[in-house]
Amino acid sequence: MDGYTLNAARTIREYESSIQRPKAERTINDSILSALLRGDELPEMDVKAIRQYGIQCSEYLDFGYDVDASLSGMLSPHAVLEPRPNTPYVFRRAGFDNLPFIYTQRHLRNAIAPKEADNHQHGLTIEQIKSLPEKLEEPVVVFDQPNYTVNGRSFEGKGVAAVLDMYDPDGVPVIAYFFPNGYGTKTNDNGCSNVIASLYGRDNFTSYLARAANEEKILYIDSEKYEQMEKELPRYGGTRFPPALAALSMDIIIPSSYICKMKAEINPKLSDREREHNSLNRTMHIKVADSRRRPRRRRPKKKPRQRKPKRRQPAAAAPRPPMLRASRAWRRSP
């Protein structure tokens, strides 16, 4: 067996250990690793799968290293984390541009702090955060955020959310909230990216998803993962998927109406095809950029005043000592 497959297997094993995946669910167990070390031949399909998954795990590990660096204070406080350098297929079909996903260090610390709803602390584990890049690859449910009411006034939901295959300490499925096509990159805040605004187990999970289903905002349901979570949820108490989800079509991706509306407001003259392929339309987090607004004029910078060099005054001459006149007697000849 070549060294490339062995290195890929070691990378997979390191990643699965970093997220504390149960041994029964691991891709590389002790028997497979021993066979690779001995040089035994594996089926061609297994070799291809190991190599492909090893490349993915290498990217997942990079995010895990950044999480450790952030929590240990080794990362710059102005830097952001990048769970994924690209956008998974499901989100691209829903209308996301193919951009990196970013996650701020402040949200990271809130996510792993002991759960306390008033302080936006969510009680997730570090291992769950490190598995975020892989969980985004296959979300369970994707939906536009439903409308909400505050003090009797109704507001339209903004952003897109996804139910992930993980649970918070109370057994509630974790939901990730996104602002698509926002600003921010791993190195600076001037690039474009899909912003992960929050990550936590939402209270009233069942009623929240029921509102999204009733408002026809469900974009995608993974049938296999949905059935798996339906079997697991009864172990955690009263949290269940609403019955309205079971009546919807599964494994079909619907474009996000929120993203379509957002891009239409930025440039209403674009056709549907141009909006779909135009990756220059961006929003800054929750605020929709208006291209018709006049840009702010920048004041020209004042040139620094040049000072004339001072002329150096010549140094005053030292006073000459008084000359003594010779006496008449001295001038006489002997």
pLDDT (tens digit per residue) in 243-295: 888 888 888 899 888 888 777 765 554 455 444 444 333 333 333 333 334 44
Cα separations in angstroms, 290 against 192, 197, 295: 16, 22, 10
Over 50: is that where the pLDDT of 107 sits? yes
State what percent of residues in the chain have pLDDT above 70: 73
Specify the DSSP class assigned to residue 284. Answer: B
Over 60: is that where the pLDDT of 16 sits? yes
pLDDT higher at 162 or 240: 162
Specify the DSSP class assigned to residue 131. Answer: T
Encoded tokens for 49: 């799968």
Strand, helix or coil for residue 254: coil
Residue 11 has φ and ψ, to the nearest 5°, of -65, -45
Encoded tokens for 306: 């040049």
End-to-end CA distance of the chain: 124
pLDDT higher at 163 or 307: 163
Q: Rounded distance, CA 271 to CA 277, Å?
A: 10
pLDDT at 205: 87
pLDDT at 276: 45
Least confident residue range of 2-16, 48-62, 271-285: 271-285
pLDDT higher at 317 or 50: 50
Strand, helix or coil for residue 196: strand
pLDDT at 289: 33
Over 70: is that where the pLDDT of 109 sits? yes
The bridge status of strand 192-201 relative to strand 218-221 is: unpaired
pLDDT at 141: 93
Encoded tokens for 83: 């769970």
Least confident residue range of 62-66, 133-137, 185-189, 295-299: 185-189
| Cβ atoms 222, 245 nearer than 8 A | no
Rounded mean pLDDT, 95-109: 90
| Cβ atoms 157, 148 nearer than 8 A | yes
pLDDT at 77: 83
Rounded mean pLDDT, 50-59: 91
3-state helix, strand, coil in the chain (%, to 5): 40, 15, 45
**How confident is the model over 62-98, as pLDDT tens digits?**
999 999 999 998 988 888 899 999 999 999 999 898 9
Encoded tokens for 103: 């996650």
pLDDT at 76: 86
pLDDT at 187: 53
pLDDT higher at 142 or 320: 142
Residues 6 or more apart whose Cβ sits within 8 Å of residue 114: 121, 123
- Burial code (b: 16+ CB inside 10 Å, e: under 16) for 155-194 equals eebbbbbbbbbbbbeebbbbbbbbbbbbbbbeeeeeebbb
How many distinct helices (H) and strands (E) make up the chain? 13, 9
The bridge status of strand 101-103 relative to strand 81-84 is: antiparallel
Decide: pTM greater than 0.85: no
Sign of CA dihedral 19, 24, 29, 32: negative
**How confident is the model over 194-237, as pLDDT tens digits?**
889 889 888 888 888 999 999 899 999 999 999 988 888 777 66
**81 beta partners:** 103
The closest alpha carbon to 94, from 176, 180, 202, belongs to 180
pLDDT at 142: 94
The closest alpha carbon to 60, from 136, 174, 138, belongs to 136
What mean pLDDT, rounded, does the chain reach? 78
Q: Rounded distance, CA 79 to CA 70, Å?
A: 9
